[in-house]
Amino acid sequence: MAIMNGLVTVGLDGSAESAAAAHWAAREALLREVPLHLVHAEEWASPLDLTPVTSAGMRSRWAEALLRDAADELHDRYPELSISTRSLDDRPAKALAAVATTSDILVLGSRGLGALAGFVLGSVGMAVIHSTERPIVLVRADEDAIAHPQDCHRDRELVVGVDIGQPCEALLAFAFEEASRRSCTLRVLHSWALPPLMGYGAVYDPRIHAQLDISAKAGLDEMLEPWREKYPGVHVAARATASHAAWQLVESGSEAGLIIVGRRIRRSSVGTHIGPITHAVLHHARAPVAVIAHQ
Q: How does DSSP assign 144-198, residue by residue?
A: HHHHSHHHHHTSSPEEEE--TTS--HHHHHHHHHHHHHHT--EEEEEEE---GGG
Residue 38 clears pLDDT 70, i.e. is over it? yes
DSSP string, 17-74: HHHHHHHHHHHHHHHHT--EEEEEETTSPPPTTSPPP-SHHHHHHHHHHHHHHHHHHH
Three-point CA angle 232, 237, 238, nearest 5°: 105
Longest alpha-carbon distance in the chain: 72
Q: What is the pLDDT of residues 78-103, one digit of tens each?
A: 999 999 999 988 888 889 999 999 99
276 and 263 Cβ atoms separated by less than 8 Å: no
Q: Domain locations in the chain?
A: 1-150, 154-295
Give the closest residue to 170 by CA, choosing from 100, 220, 121, 227. Answer: 227
Residue 270 clears pLDDT 70, i.e. is over it? no
Q: What is the pLDDT of residues 134-156, one digit of tens each?
A: 999 999 876 455 555 555 677 79
> Which pLDDT belongs to residue 212?
77
Sequence-ordered list of residues with C-beta below 8 angstroms from that of 194, at least 6 positions apart, any chain: 209, 212, 242
Structural fold of domain 1-150 = Rossmann fold (3.40.50)
User: Where does the pLDDT of residue 115 fall: very low under 50, low under 70, confident under 90, or very high at 90 and above?
Assistant: very low
Return the exposure string of 41-77: e unless at least 16 CB atoms fall within 10 Å of the residue's CB, then b: bbebebeeeeeebeeeeebeebbeebbeebbeebeee
Integer-rounded Cα Rg, in Å, for the chain is 20
Q: Which residue has the higher pLDDT, 128 or 271?
A: 128
Q: Which residue has the higher pLDDT, 14 or 259?
A: 259
- Same topology between domain 1-150 and domain 154-295: yes
CATH of 154-295, picked from 3.40.50.300, 1.10.10.10, 3.40.50.12370, 1.10.1040.10, is 3.40.50.12370
pTM for the predicted model, two decimal places: 0.85
The whole-angstrom separation of Cα 257 and Cα 182 is 10
